[in-house]
Amino acid sequence: MAARLPGDRPVFAPDDRWLVTRGTNQLLKFSIPEGRLLSTFDSAEAMVGTPAVSPDGRQLAAMAASGQVLVWQTSESAPALRLGSSSNHWEGLFFMPGGRELVALHTREGMLEWFVTNTGESTRRMATGEGDVTAVALSPDGAYVLIGETAARLRLVELATGHVELLEGDTGSVLSVAWSPDGQTLAAGTFEGFVKLWNTRMDNDD
């Protein structure tokens, strides 16, 4: 049975028992597979980009049009934290394994910034290169970050060392990025309507 749910940018919970969609100024939580509305998470302003769900499913985060990042506890409808300031421009966010840290990607230059999710404190920043960026995804093991650029290129960032490997493409600006569940394949959706794949095992097999 198919269900039609309001909102867009769906994100599944880690246990696949519910998902969250983005409305104009709220997040909506639905049961899976019934599609029953379980709760809403309110914002006083419009939200942009794709929400994030913590690994334990107890926290949600979303980017506001004002430039701040809002963080909710899934037991409360009002945001528990507001991170950053109105001068920030983000292109994505994700929770680190354990859910104690939330990482946001700055649009300009692709700076990664870490926030503590129970206090909102900014604890770390990592430069990843030059040029505007468009999307970000954390590897399944939490060791690497994949960043898409407005150019036909990806940045593969090793979080422990800050080392950045550039993956050149030939199909235009990157719009979205993703990892396979086993972490062995990278995917980039492009402005031209193509998806390009990279096999991360290639270097190890040579």
Structural domain boundaries of the chain? 47-205
Q: pTM of the prediction?
A: 0.89
Cα–Cα distance, 75 to 59 (Å, whole number): 9
pLDDT score at 170: 78
Q: pLDDT category, 204, cuts 50, 70, 90?
A: very low
Give exposure, 79-117, as e/b (b: 16+ Cβ within 10 Å).
bebebbeeebebbbbbbbeebebbbbbbeeebebbbbeb
Q: pLDDT category, 194, cuts 50, 70, 90?
A: confident
The rounded radius of gyration (Å) of the Cα atoms in the chain is 17
pLDDT score at 147: 96
Nearby residues of 42 by Cβ (< 8 Å), 6 or more positions away: 25, 26, 77, 78, 79
pLDDT at 203 over 60: no
Average pLDDT value for residue range 160-171: 90
Q: pLDDT category, 109, cuts 50, 70, 90?
A: confident
Average pLDDT value for residue range 65-88: 90
pLDDT score at 63: 94
pLDDT at 17 over 50: yes
Q: How far from 154 is each of 17, 77, 176, 188, 198, CA to CA, in Å?
A: 32, 36, 10, 8, 10
pLDDT score at 205: 43
CATH architecture of 47-205: 7 Propeller (2.130)
